[in-house]
Amino acid sequence: MNKQTKVWLVLSLALSLLALGSACGGAKDSGTNAPATGGSDAAAAPYSGATGTIAGVVSFEGTAPAPKKIDTTADAACGKANPNLTTDDTIVTDGKLANVFVYIKEGTVDAGKKIGEYAWSTPSNTVQLDQRGCHYNPHVLGVQTNQKISITNSDQTQHNIHWIPKTNPEWNQSQPNGAPAIEKTFTRAEVLIPVKCNQHPWMKAYIGVMRTPFFDVTETNGAYEIKGVPPGKYTVVAWREGGTNGSEKTMEVTVPANGSGKADFAFGGGAATSSTKPSLTMMPAPEIPSLHK
């Protein structure tokens, strides 16, 4: 290693430390770097006024990969419950893509405030996440921060729910057949949190946690609808699983009062998806001692 290289190494290490320090400081109180999360809960007022919708259809271009059969010999109960268990990462029906998480990432309400600057109350209904036929059902789901998620096991075997968030706490728990439902919440917005099962490696789900109610998941017909949106201009993101962090498409949408903004998206194999950027870009972990300890 020559002298110049050494100098550069020292310089870049110093810069990394600085960046890390400011990143830690900045993120401390906001609780999130996730979409539509700006604003302070304490001071925020709820939105009141006319609303519209954002709706559209998500297509899959080109030939969809055929679902692959899953080998369930490791757990006879899974094969018995679901003899034709197949992968559920790409569900395409007549060219339309299911399980795409569509949400308002950011934007400005016509009244002038950012959408994240309003208070959005936590829904009182509980979102269900069932384990049935050794799949998670639904495969992709959305909740608001602090909204209850009820996790159930409808199978004659044991599951172990294990989610791997980046900003919320990691968690895993076994749930034998017949065990009561497990109730959980997320306190921080995070799109999207991968969920796996420690018993069955093919089981995957994704949970989008939002501070706002502005999200939906496409049905098998590819359709979604985001209701109750204040009139304004928004960045709408469609997220789909795949690869390390999934991929996303972005569109600017104008929502009129009492009207609907349309946002259709298309994903596809090969070139169509290579232009999308990962939505959950990980910073490379610097090999330096933690500043927090």
For Cu ion, the binding residues (CB under 5 A) are: 159, 197, 199-200, 203
User: CB burial class (10 A; 0-12, 13-18, 19+) of residue 207?
Assistant: buried
Contacts of 78-87 with CB under 8 Å at 24 or more apart are 78/133, 78/134, 78/155, 78/157, 78/200, 80/156, 81/132, 81/133, 81/134, 81/155, 81/156, 81/157, 82/133, 82/134, 82/135, 85/133, 85/134, 85/135, 85/202, 87/202
CB of 196 to Cu ion, least distance (A): 9
* Nearest partner of 100 among 137, 58, 63, 66, judged by Cα: 58
Tokens, residue 241: 């699983």
Q: Which lies closer to Cu ion via its Cβ, residue 113 or residue 162?
A: 162
* Nearest partner of 214 among 199, 193, 234, judged by Cα: 234
CB of 65 to Cu ion, least distance (A): 23
**204: phi then psi, degrees, rounded to nearest 5:** -140, 145
Q: Which lies closer to Cu ion via its Cβ, residue 128 or residue 250?
A: 128
d(CA 35, CA 240): 16
Q: Which lies closer to Cu ion via its Cβ, residue 155 or residue 248?
A: 155
Q: Which lies closer to Cu ion via its Cβ, residue 200 or residue 204?
A: 200
Q: Which lies closer to Cu ion via its Cβ, residue 159 or residue 204?
A: 159
CB of 136 to Cu ion, least distance (A): 8
Q: Which lies closer to Cu ion via its Cβ, residue 205 or residue 255?
A: 205
SS3 90: coil
**15: phi then psi, degrees, rounded to nearest 5:** -65, -40
CB of 218 to Cu ion, least distance (A): 24
**163: phi then psi, degrees, rounded to nearest 5:** -105, 150
SS3 130: strand
Q: Which lies closer to Cu ion via its Cβ, residue 85 or residue 238?
A: 85
